[in-house]
Amino acid sequence: MNKDYVIEATGLVKSYGDNRVLNGVDLQVERGTMLALLGPNGAGKTTTVRILSTLLGFDAGTVKVEGHDIIRDADKVRSVIGLTGQSAAVDELLTGRENLVMMGRLYRLTKASAKARADELLTDFDLQDAADRPAKTYSGGMRRRLDLAVSLIATPPVIFLDEPTTGLDPRSRLSMWAIIRKLMDGGTTILLTTQYLEEADQLADQIVVIDGGKVIAKGTSAELKSKVGKDRLELVFKDAAALKAARKALGKDVISTDDKEYSATLVINDTNTDVKRVLDALVSAKISVQSMAVHKPTLDDVFLSLTGKTNNQVEQEEQ
Ligand SMILES: Nc1ncnc2c1ncn2[C@@H]1O[C@H](COP(=O)(O)OP(=O)(O)OP(=O)(O)O)[C@@H](O)[C@H]1O
Ligand SMILES: [Mg+2]
């Protein structure tokens, strides 16, 4: 039987002038699941989301959302989706509650049901205490929650979240994750973009990694991790000199180093023999290790092996 895809994009191509920012992107999102579109700055995540949510045209390919062709039936597509990342939807001068009620009225809810729905969302999003303050007094995390709440007023079955937690502190990020999980429990189909590997790891059923406008990998978090196989040995040294010496002593076994943490990562096949071999090499070179750990590959390792860069390096290069 064919899978029940709510979002289906095939061969998406989009250029800005000579700059081809999407170069044949395919993705499918099954009903009631979350797909995370993961990629560094400039990979084409926002462009993809804007196309899939009818805000942006494209040069080639096809998109269907809930079976509606995104070009022929754009209105029908709009009626089933919610989109966040457009804070423009929030009126700064109105209170959180007023924003929600106004949006409810725009979606033709009666006054009473708009008020009831606003109340429900304020509670769900932990905004009751701030409900009657103007939105301009909200913190970044509260604003993000209000933005999401506004997009959910009409309980759309499909929602697009474009980097919902970028720039949030760890606590606000966790509370946003809790809200997103609740949406997933309610059966909403979600396409989320993120630069955070951990976010995709924690939340998504399927992950699509894009870089330079192309899909470079897709699968579950476990599938992506199993592609890079083997365990990692992480060694931490006391200073930059020790790290440099270790790098020399261990040669090509070192797959990455972190010059701030003075750490090196190696791929190992067999914990027993390989760890001993590495430690022996360090002892002969008179280099002492401050701490060490063996771990399964993380999505960071996946990213590194796919792009040749860690996500941090990508971020630093962009700056
Ligand atoms: N309106 C535009 N005009 C010209 N180029 C654009 C426009 N919008 C985006 N681009 C380019 O398209 C590419 C992809 O941008 P996009 O915003 O989709 O990336 P992203 O993956 O969302 O990145 P980020 O993580 O920084 O949000 C970038 O090279 C960007 O400079
Ligand atoms: Mg973006």
End-to-end CA gap in the chain: 47
Dig out the tokens for 67 from the structure: 């079976």
| pLDDT band, residue 318 (cuts 50/70/90) | very low
Q: Is this prediction's pTM over 0.85?
A: no
- The pLDDT assigned to 197 comes to 81
Q: What is the DSSP letter of 87?
A: G
Distance 166 CA to ligand 2 centre (A): 10
Q: In a 3-state reduction of DSSP, which class is residue 16?
A: strand
Contacts of 201 (CB under 8 A, 6+ apart): 221, 298, 299
Contacts of 203 (CB under 8 A, 6+ apart): 34, 36, 177, 180, 181, 184, 192
Q: Is residue 307 pLDDT above 70, yes or no?
A: no
Distance 217 CA to ligand 2 centre (A): 19
Q: Which CATH number fits domain 230-296: 3.40.30.10, 3.40.50.150, 2.30.40.10, 3.30.70.100?
A: 3.30.70.100
Atom of ligand 1 nearest to the CA of 195: 25
* Span 90-148, pLDDT tens digits: 899 999 999 999 999 988 899 999 999 999 999 988 899 999 999 999 998 898 889 88
Q: In a 3-state reduction of DSSP, which class is residue 137?
A: helix
Q: What is the mean pLDDT of the chain?
A: 89
**Is 5-220 a domain of CATH 3.40.50.300?**
yes
Tell me if 43 CB under 6 Å of ligand 1: yes
Domain spans, the chain:
5-220, 230-296
* Span 156-180, pLDDT tens digits: 899 999 988 887 888 888 888 998 9
Of the candidates 162, 296, 166, which has an alpha carbon nearest to the alpha carbon of residue 221?
Answer: 296
Tell me if 266 CB under 6 Å of ligand 1: no
* Span 45-92, pLDDT tens digits: 999 999 999 999 999 999 999 999 999 999 999 989 987 765 567 899
User: Which residues face 65 on adjacent strands?
Assistant: 7, 68
Q: What is the DSSP letter of 297?
A: P
Of the chain, the percentage scoring pLDDT greater than 70 comes to 93
Q: Is residue 280 pLDDT above 80, yes or no?
A: yes
Protein residue with its CA nearest to atom 1 in ligand 1: 16
Number of H helices and number of E strands within the chain? 12, 14
Q: Is residue 208 pLDDT above 70, yes or no?
A: yes
Protein residue with its CA nearest to atom 3 in ligand 1: 16
Tell me if 79 CB under 6 Å of ligand 1: no
| Rounded CA separation 84/164 (Å) | 8
Protein residue with its CA nearest to atom 27 in ligand 1: 41
Q: Where are the alpha helices (DSSP H) in 125-196?
A: 140-151, 170-185
- The pLDDT assigned to 229 comes to 66
Q: Is residue 1 pLDDT above 70, yes or no?
A: no
Dig out the tokens for 139 from the structure: 């913190």
Segment holding 189, helix H or strand E: strand 189-194
| Rounded CA separation 69/72 (Å) | 5
Ranges 34-38, 85-89, 282-286: which has the least confidence: 85-89
